[in-house]
Amino acid sequence: MVKHLFTLIWNKKKQNALLLAEMLISFLVLFAVFSLLVYFFRNYKKPMGLDYDDVWVITYSQTNTNTSSDSLVQFYQTVKQNLLSLPQVKSVSLSSANFPFSNSHMQNGIIHNNKNIGSINTFDTEDSYASILNLKLVEGRWFNAADITYKNRPVVINESLRAEFFGTGKAVGELMGDGKEEDKRKIIGVVKDAKMQGEYTNPGYAMYQRVDTGGIKWIGHMLLKVAPGADAAFEAKLYKNLANSMKSANVEIDRLGNKLKSANNFALVPMIVLSIICTFLIVNVALGLFGVLWYNINKRRGEIGLRRAVGASGQSISVQLVTESILLASLAVIIGSFFAIQFPLLNVFDLPAGIYLTALLLAIIFVYVLVLVCSLYPGRQAAAIYPAAALHEE
């Protein structure tokens, strides 16, 4: 049966080649869009891992790179004291430029146990950072004042990095790195993965370290936990307070909630635009397929009439036509899958293979459903052909 259908398809290879090409390109477009959607969806399902309500971020220009580190530490102490004297300010922490939803990345590479990870997001933090963002500690502890002197720089890592470097073994208290002994970092705690760049992004690997006196001159951001209900009036007051204590800096205040909105848009807008375009393309293809199949069936009235005359049921006629389309779609899917499967095999864009495979499966199902829907109605029409009428036309 199938072999016979292949013969029928082969006999009209020119016409079918075009249909095949159309299905193939649709399949590839679907695969691309589904990959993106699956990626975002999987990220969206992961827990946020941090709180951003009532957290404000202060950005200021560093103008004091010429002052010594010690006087800078003093200076920040004064600034922080001034801020904390305001009743609505709960706590303050300096932060590197990659504070949550900032769309800025600072990554380091570390080799440990012959495993090389080149993209570890590194955050400069202070003792109150974890409580401001409500990062959840799983093991060990967060930084405290005692960490100011150390032999190996203390760091807190996230669960993903822990799993990668230490598996299920002991992590807290271990040294991380493979360089000189004093360059290794000492792990003091593990926190839950936090989506630091927005709800649709992957937490990735993260490492938190305490701002040290050498790095303090490069810091240009502060995170602030404020009391609920702090309004614009308070913000203006806060701004004045800052401008007075940091005379030589330009200051900007923003809320993490606002930052999250724009960080999410960064993912959502392309996603929505692509989905709309993809939907239109698919509707277009569906209409085209439908039209062509319908027309072909009208042309094959003679053949169908003959089959009915020698005793085929209407059911088997429509099954034949639908199967023909499904076979054609299968060819497109096989060729398309050959291209698509290269993505997880070659590890393109460093995405987990699961994303590509899910997208591949979705695309295959979608193409079949599409072809099925487009060929069902013409198939039913063909089944309704009266053999006498069809043969009479001949």
Partner 1 sequence: MLLNYFKIALAVLKRRKFFTFISLFGISFTLTILLVMTAFIAKIIGDNYPDKKRSRSLYINNIEERGKESMQSGLLSFYFLDHYVRSLKTPVKVAISSGFNGTNTYVNNKKIALNYKYTNADFWEVLDHEFLEGKPFTAQQIANGELVTVISEDIKKSYFGNIGSVVGKYIEADNVQYRVCGVVKNVPITLYMIYSDIYLPYTVSKIDYKGTGYQGNYTGILLAKSKADIPAIQKEYDAMIAKLPMQSKKFTKIYSHADTFIRGYVRTGNEENSGVTIALLALGIFVLIILALPTLNLVNINITRIMERSSEIGVRKAFGASSSILVYQFIVENLILTIIGGLIGLVMTAIIIYFINQADLIAYLKLSINYKVLGIGLLTCLVFGLLSGVYPAWRMSRLNVVNALKAQ
Closer CB to partner 1, residue 86 or residue 251? 251
In angstroms, what is the minimal distance from the CB of 66 to partner 1? 8
Q: Cα angle vertex 270, ends 264, 271, to 5°?
A: 80
In angstroms, what is the minimal distance from the CB of 16 to partner 1? 10
CB 363 within 8 A of CB 29: no
Give residue 270's Cα distance to chain centre: 12
Q: Render the burial of 48-85: b for 16+ CB within 10 Å, e for the rest.
A: bbbbbebbbbbbbeeeeeeeeeeebeeebeebbebbee
Closer CB to partner 1, residue 287 or residue 353? 287
In angstroms, what is the minimal distance from the CB of 86 to partner 1? 16
Closer CB to partner 1, residue 236 or residue 334? 236
Closer CB to partner 1, residue 80 or residue 259? 259
In angstroms, what is the minimal distance from the CB of 210 to partner 1? 25
CA nearest neighbour of 22 among 296, 273, 371: 371
CB 192 within 8 A of CB 159: yes
What is the Cα–Cα distance from 391 to 388, expressed in whole angstroms?
5
Which residues lie near partner 1 (CB under 8 A)?
A: 15, 18-19, 21-22, 25-26, 28-29, 59, 61, 63, 66, 231-233, 235-236, 239-240, 243-244, 248-254, 269, 277, 280-281, 283-285, 287-288, 291-292, 295-296, 299
Q: Cα angle vertex 161, ends 159, 166, to 5°?
A: 90
CB 113 within 8 A of CB 268: no
Question: Tokens 């949550």 correspond to what residue?
Answer: 100
Closer CB to partner 1, residue 15 or residue 213? 15
In angstroms, what is the minimal distance from the CB of 266 to partner 1? 12
Closer CB to partner 1, residue 178 or residue 254? 254
In angstroms, what is the minimal distance from the CB of 183 to partner 1? 15
> Which residues on adjacent β-strands are paired with residue 207?
122, 157
DSSP 149: S
Coil vs helix vs strand at 62: coil
In angstroms, what is the minimal distance from the CB of 211 to partner 1? 21
Closer CB to partner 1, residue 67 or residue 81? 67
